[in-house]
């Protein structure tokens, strides 16, 4: 987890410091998106980010949100959680953790402190090692 993870509600100076740490060039739109994203630990789709930033009195385009969140994910500032081809969430918690996705409500939750047993995985090709694992547990109400 980055050093900012327990300090949500970052102000502009903290956002700029964060950008410096992750080597992200600050622009007005990137700062506004980051201010919205780092208000609290959360999982947001690009559409939710777009709506939230624009409802906050700013104006960013859909393309700017997608490009900015792609940059943030590539730099390691946020985690990109792929539920399926149509659903991508951006996670403000960039520490190694897994998720539970509620199929009925569309909500995504963090699962902290779970270590996968990697001894059950198939043999890896020679000269390779596991870099990261992403586990998404999909849940739904039981059908009667």
pLDDT at 5 over 50: no
Task: Tell me the average pLDDT across 98-115.
Answer: 90
**What integer pLDDT is reported at residue 2 of this predicted model?**
40
**What integer pLDDT is reported at residue 123 of this predicted model?**
85
Q: What average pLDDT does the structure give for the chain?
A: 89
Residue with token string 């059950």: 120
The answer to whether 65 touches 53, Cβ cutoff 8 Å, is yes
**What integer pLDDT is reported at residue 7 of this predicted model?**
52
The lowest-confidence range among 10-14, 34-38, 88-92, 112-116 is 112-116
Is residue 143 very low, low, confident or very high in pLDDT (cuts 50, 70, 90)? confident
List beta partners, residue 95: none
Q: Return the percentage of the chain with pLDDT > 70, whole number.
A: 94
User: Which position has the higher pLDDT, 71 or 134?
Assistant: 71
pTM of the model: 0.83
Is residue 8 very low, low, confident or very high in pLDDT (cuts 50, 70, 90)? low
Question: What span, in angstroms and rounded, lies between the C-alpha atoms of 82 and 121?
Answer: 21
User: Which position has the higher pLDDT, 144 or 49?
Assistant: 49
């Amino acid at each position: 987890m980055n050093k900012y993870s327990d300090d949500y509600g970052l102000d502009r100076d903290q956002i700029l410091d964060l950008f410096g740490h992750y080597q992200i060039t600050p622009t007005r739109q990137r700062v506004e998106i980051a201010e919205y994203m780092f208000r609290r630990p959360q999982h947001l789709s690009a559409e939710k980010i777009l709506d939230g930033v624009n409802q906050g009195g700013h104006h960013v385009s859909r393309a700017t949100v997608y490009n900015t969140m792609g940059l943030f994910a590539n730099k390691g500032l946020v985690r990109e959680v792929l539920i399926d081809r149509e659903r991508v969430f951006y996670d403000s918690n960039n520490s190694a953790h897994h998720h539970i996705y509620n199929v009925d409500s569309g909500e995504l939750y963090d699962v902290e402190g779970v270590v996968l047993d990697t001894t059950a995985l198939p043999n890896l090709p020679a000269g390779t090692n596991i870099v990261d694992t992403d586990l998404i547990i999909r849940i739904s109400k039981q059908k009667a």
